Structure 1
Amino acid sequence: MHVLSGGSVADADGTMEADVGIENGQIVAVGDSLSGDTETDVSGKFIAPGLIDAHVHLTMDGRADVSTVHNDSIATLSYRAAANLQKAISQGVTTVRDLGAGYEIALDARDAVSNGVLEGPRVHACGQNIIMTGGHGHWFGREADGYDEVTKAAREQLKAGADVLKCMATGGVLTEGAVTGAPELTVEEMTALVEAAVPTGTPTATHAHSEVGIKNAVKAGITSVEHGTFMDEEAAEMMADAGTFWVPTASALHGIVENGVEAGIPEDAVTKAEDAADRFEEAFEHALDADVRVAMGTDAGTPFNFFDEIPQEIKQMTDRGMTPNEALTAATVNGAELLGLDDVGMVESGYVADLVVLAENPNESASAWWDPEQVYTAGVQVV
């Protein structure tokens, strides 16, 4: 057994002084004065679960105009995905969920990490987004219209090995000419997606900005709403009642609004993002008031939203009213539940040893997550 000794454990349950024992990739003991075959002294440090980013795009690189990504070769996209995984793990992100990548690259990246070919966080992936013809992100998605076509498209993703099915309920910021909150896939079409996922117990996710899009997603039984930018009080209450997760992706809007047209972001996208940013603040208030379950996601890969800056999402959440512990919970326990993982996200015996060692207490400070001193994936120190 290898022991991290002299530190404090900090997870969703709070903070306490304790050693952590690791063996065969798992946490096997948490307690006082543990002894083992080897030991790492982390005195005065904090041992926390690795972060879970529930919304990334592995083949994107934070460029100003993401629509140009489709001009890149499959090889270039693959190299980029590998580099993004390395950047994420360097910042203590031990699990990511890819919600849209070209070809089957994210699925292949998942297998490469699992088989030890690549070093990086655990990957869950959707394969291709399911999108109405000409809808948001059509340049890298699977276009489908109507119940039957969406059913077939969903089954294609499952056949390819998707861990989650993703669709587009509304228009988006980064598709030229699309209206950000305009409904795209209908309730019936999203219901087809959900029903296709039922036999395998596969979770579902949808991009949705507007109140109508969010409500349509809840009615269809979608597992998580991504962005939820224009969420109103009724939509928040519907999500809370249904147990629908919200993945806010505050970093995505921040990257666009803070950099703007001057940085090369298309004017159409900047205009839409600035409008969305104002309404996003109210969405956060509605979600917190209704006690909507939040899982952390960044939309990493969108303009000026980089994989080695993923922990900034935690500060984005605390800046909007969440406590550091609530943000920690969103980035660990809630993310694990959303992805269907029952053995990651806590520092407890029986959990996978996906761990970070931090200089500050993450239950007290959102900035504690920046630049972790040590990172472990399945008990192996990678940073």
Structure 2
Amino acid sequence: MHVLRNGTVVDADGEREADVAVEGDGIVAVGDVGRGDAETDVSGRYVAPGLVDSHVHLMLDGRPDVATVQSESAFDHAYAAAANLRAAVEAGVTTVRDLGGPGTLALDAGRAVAEGRLVGPRVLACGENITMTGGHGHWFGREADGPDEVRKATREQLKRGADVVKCMATGGVLTEGARTGAPELTYEEIEALVDAAAAKDVPTAAHAHGKEGLLNAVEAGITSIEHGTFMDREAAAAMAAAGTYWVPTASALFDIVDNPDAGIPPSAMAKAEASAESFVTSFDHAAAEGVTVAMGTDAGTPFNHFGDIPGELEYMVEYGMTPAEALEAATVNAAELCGLDDVGRVSEGYRADLIVLDSDPTADAGAWTDPDHVFAGGERVV
């Protein structure tokens, strides 16, 4: 048994002075803990749950033009995924949800981590994202047209063991020729996807920037809206009423806007700049209507590196959330979205995904950067 001694535990349930005992991959006691086989003194520091990033792309490495990965082999993509997993877990991210990559890349990466062949966070994955022919992300997704094709494409991902099914409800910033907010898959196509996923009780996610595509997804029963760039009050109200999660991915947008003349394709830069103002107001609409927010970064997109994932919490605070709300979004909310009931809290019976921080993350969202210690499934990584 390994005991973290003399720290302040902080999670969505608040703060308390407590020791934390870890045995195997789980937390076995929190509070007044007896002597351990090994002990780490964390006096004056904060013991928090590992972060959960509910939107990443393991195949991407933050390069300015993501489309260039098309010329690379599956081996290149696997090496990128391995490096990204290591960078994420060393930054204190102990669970990631991959929302689109070629073939079974991310699903295989998840098995490799679970079996101890790779060091990294727990991986949940969708397999290939489902998009219309020529739609956003078509070059690494599963193209499908019409409800029957979409249903079959969904079942293919489920057969592979997908933990979530992802679709492209609208165009996007990084696909040449796609209009960012324009609907792509129809309501009927998204409804078929949701229905097929429900047969296996698997959650769904929709890339959606524009209002029409977003509302199509919400009405069809999608579990989470990714991005939600042009969300207005009506769209936010619909999401809140349906219990639809919002995964903002601020890092994806602003890591493009903040890097002009750095090799990002001009079309992507123009679309990102045109989206930025609307995106900021989305936070106001979501807060006013009580939309549940789960943290996600879209890590792997331009200059959006896996080692920088904790910076997403600072964006969330910059645009209106409190540090405590950001903590909740990045732990229990994201865990619930991912269907995990043993992640996101420092509590007996939970998985020993823990990070030790120098300062209080409920007072400063920047506290998450550069953790002193990281434990993933009970194994010390940092």
Relative to the length of structure 1, the TM-score reads: 0.99
| Cα separation, 1, equivalents of 2:37 and 2:101 | 43
| Cα separation, 2, equivalents of 1:268 and 1:207 | 19
Amino acid across the alignment from 1:128:
E
Judge conservation of contact 1:2–1:23 (CA < 8 Å) in 2: yes
The SS at the match of 2:348 is coil
Aligned to 2:101: 101
Judge conservation of contact 2:21–2:33 (CA < 8 Å) in 1: no
Judge conservation of contact 1:168–1:184 (CA < 8 Å) in 2: yes
Judge conservation of contact 2:228–2:248 (CA < 8 Å) in 1: yes
Query: Over aligned residue pairs, what C-alpha RMSD do you find?
Result: 0.8
Aligned to 2:128: 128
Check if 1:219 corresponds to 2:219. Answer: yes
Please give the residue correspondences for 1:153-168 in structure 2 after superposition, counting only pairs within 5 Å.
153-168=153-168
Amino acid across the alignment from 2:290:
D
Judge conservation of contact 1:19–1:34 (CA < 8 Å) in 2: no
Per-residue deviation, residues 308-354 of structure 1 (Å, max 9, x unmatched): 10000000000001000100000000011000000010000110000
| Cα separation, 1, equivalents of 2:2 and 2:127 | 37
Aligned to 2:268: 269
Aligned to 1:32: 32
Per-residue deviation, residues 113-132 of structure 1 (Å, max 9, x unmatched): 00110010000000001000
| Cα separation, 2, equivalents of 1:183 and 1:145 | 13
| Cα separation, 1, equivalents of 2:104 and 2:27 | 33
Check if 1:375 corresponds to 2:374. Answer: yes
Aligned to 2:284: 285
- How many residue pairs get aligned? The number is 382
| Cα separation, 2, equivalents of 1:167 and 1:24 | 37
The SS at the match of 1:356 is strand
| Cα separation, 2, equivalents of 1:287 and 1:184 | 24
Aligned to 1:255: 255
Aligned to 1:21: 21
The SS at the match of 1:263 is coil
Cα gap change, 1:282 to 1:8, in 2 (>3 Å): same
Alpha-carbon offset, residue 35 of structure 1: 2.6
Per-residue deviation, residues 251-274 of structure 1 (Å, max 9, x unmatched): 0011110002x1011111111100
Judge conservation of contact 1:54–1:98 (CA < 8 Å) in 2: yes
Aligned to 1:325: 324
Relative to the length of structure 2, the TM-score reads: 0.99
Please give the residue correspondences for 1:26-65 in structure 2 after superposition, counting only pairs within 5 Å.
26-32=26-32, 34-65=34-65
| Cα separation, 2, equivalents of 1:34 and 1:297 | 37
Alpha-carbon offset, residue 14 of structure 1: 1.3
Please give the residue correspondences for 1:354-373 in structure 2 after superposition, counting only pairs within 5 Å.
354-373=353-372
Alpha-carbon offset, residue 228 of structure 1: 0.2
Amino acid across the alignment from 2:341:
D
Give unpaired runs (5+ residues) of structure 1. none
| Cα separation, 2, equivalents of 1:86 and 1:22 | 22
Matched-pair identity in %: 64
Give unpaired runs (5+ residues) of structure 2. none
Aligned to 2:195: 195
| Cα separation, 2, equivalents of 1:32 and 1:210 | 51
Check if 1:349 corresponds to 2:348. Answer: yes
Amino acid across the alignment from 1:132:
M
The SS at the match of 1:178 is coil
Judge conservation of contact 1:5–1:34 (CA < 8 Å) in 2: no
Judge conservation of contact 1:20–1:34 (CA < 8 Å) in 2: no
Alpha-carbon offset, residue 33 of structure 1: 5.2
Per-residue deviation, residues 181-208 of structure 1 (Å, max 9, x unmatched): 0000011100111111112110000100
Judge conservation of contact 2:20–2:33 (CA < 8 Å) in 1: no
Alpha-carbon offset, residue 37 of structure 1: 2.5
